Chains A and B, each alone.
Chain A
């Protein structure tokens, strides 16, 4: 009887912890090639229909990203596989085994992982370049700067060195994205548009948002202009251009390498 009482007491005290431990397996410590292959197979069967065959998205959001909107790390991916995301089409993956869940999480995390690149520059010198050329006048990194352009706090993780180098030399070639909670899940962001109202001056700036009937534009002074499209004489997107100037002639010698090396150190560690 005493033993039985003890069991009851314990089960009353521990139910949630025990349940959580039983439900959410830990991430694989080191995913082997066989694990990734197993993950790929389960992904193709269970995930690809909505998230795209290669993780680039479709009816569901893209997963081939270094940072996922809803999952900071592999443990969080496992959490979503186990519980689903209430209020969305993402159901709990009840029919995956614990091993498959860990393998899928490893595979999904690997989908967005960037290969390591050689960084010839010196991050410390790059930091000085960052201040000198005035990156902070348009970008925020770790809370400092101005928010006209994309935030750079985690840019080292989100973008590779090659992308950053190209963006500094030819900003119009960069393809920043803005996440939206519906198909297509990512819209091109910071697209330059020129809007001509029926009366008043032309507004040039970056598109902040748009639907079928309206558009919101932020001008270089940071003011937001909201227009009904029907009220505009003209609305011209200028793809391939950017409000950011090219630094091709500004960054001399090794400065470009230093700056890229510094930007690559910008990441939120988890």
Chain B
């Protein structure tokens, strides 16, 4: 043994846990709620609540909240990532799949990972964004625009393995944060505007070997295949571009599936187009479909169901139930049984003009003539939906579901759509409605009925998520750059801070030196706030 090696060993022994890389075993992820000082997964916990049990910041003191530090990204571009926090390190992603590991106390960079993204990378229908990483054991996992999944050493950012998930030449890309479960990394794909055949994959966390793949568009002989006319299933879209949730007890993964392709011209894909615009529940060990629920059959408005499936345990009609709830992009709020997929209840939570309501099985009763047309058809909500990928939050104590809303309509147009590999495949577009009826809002819904308890109006339709805390607050941010806190009981605004850049990310909360902090990205920077 050389002297320097001896020195290194001695040093390691001396520093002990301080210098140790993040060790985030599956057990920590599963019990994330019992570790409120960290923020270990995209939604803070497997159930997707985006709820922090920390209660130091309250309606009484939140007015004194102030920035602790600001991190400005090195890769130009808006930050849409949810950071994760473990063992004194904050991991955030930037445009073009960059990862930055930051010292939690100061925001100073510990390491960076910058994958090579070719100039001609196919990014079809969205920007070169990334929404975050997953932690498991001593590794950090990130998906790339070039549709690779990469495992990094948490201490150094050095690549452990790098595998291709799908072929970017065909329009597959990754912007979503992976989900880590016991020994597996779950990752979805973007490409709904490129006529991909959507899928969700699981990879062995140690080796990068693919464990299973679930196609969101069933192939010949599989149930649901009959919901695609002709050969349309081959280019059916149905991407999985947002992180799902997980029930370890049922061992089921819940994932939202995006629009069928082409988006606005459904002529060549007659049928319901399963499992587009659906939630799917998959066996986490095998990837086998357990149930599905389709919110918008045969969608022609681009209303992806890529929202967070929020898992709720509650007594409903006198009976304890395991539920999954969601405010869908199509303007309706849904309550489903998460063991069986049974539809229990649903109601509109925003202005919608395309359906008379939901039938007893939760299928929309569609008003005829609302499809996109050559001359344009005015429909609410707009293409970007009554909400979108940014996260809702759930406060189990109050039984309130908080949803960031976009009140906006669009004229939908339809054109011909010709599939060419790796090129846009959309068949139309929108012209957004302007005017006084267009605004943003945070709404608190009764989680079991969807009834509105309060609303806080904001200037423009939102692009940013919310987080609830045990302190009785709802944090969020606006298109105009405000970060704000609302009273969870009433929706009354209690604090706001102008960041100077447009916000399109989700907040998180954690402990820094034993004190509660809140972090959210706005513009091209990450802001961390704490009490003085």
What residues of chain A have their CB less than 8 Å away from a CB belonging to chain B? Answer: 44-46, 48-49, 52-54, 56-59, 86-92, 94-95, 181-184, 210-214, 230
Contact = CB atoms under 8 A, between A and B. Distances in A.
Contacts of B207: none
A47 to B, nearest CB: 9
Interface string B80-112: 000000000000000100000000000000000
B459 A212 contact: yes
Interface string B399-430: 00000000000110101000000111010111
A181 B480 contact: no
Contacts, number: 101
A48 B429 contact: yes
B243 interface: no
Given A58-B383, A91-B128, A210-B459, 11 more contacts: A45-B424, A48-B428, A52-B429, A53-B430, A56-B431, A57-B432, A86-B76, A87-B76, A94-B119, A95-B422, A212-B459
A35 to B, nearest CB: 19
Nearest to A213: B496
Given A52-B430, A184-B460, A213 B415 contact: no
Interface in B49-87: 76-78
Given A58-B383, A89-B128, A213 B484 contact: yes
A158 B125 CA distance: 30
A43 to B, nearest CB: 10
Nearest to B76: A87
A53 B428 contact: yes
12 contacts: A45-B424, A49-B426, A53-B413, A54-B431, A59-B384, A87-B95, A91-B128, A94-B120, A94-B122, A211-B498, A212-B482, A212-B496
A133 to B, nearest CB: 33
A211 B459 contact: yes
A155 B422 CA distance: 42
Contacts of B410: 58
B77 A49 contact: no
A44 B429 contact: yes
B77 A56 contact: no
A41 to B, nearest CB: 9
A54 B374 CA distance: 12
Contacts of A53: 376, 411, 413, 428-431
B491 to A, nearest CB: 13
A83 to B, nearest CB: 9
Interface string B286-301: 0000000000000000
A183 B410 CA distance: 14
B235 interface: no
Contacts of A181: 502
B458 to A, nearest CB: 5
A88 B119 contact: no
Contacts of A49: 125, 193, 424, 426, 429
A232 to B, nearest CB: 14
Interface in B178-212: 193
B260 to A, nearest CB: 16
Given A52-B430, A181-B502, A183-B479, A213 B493 contact: yes
A91 B423 contact: no
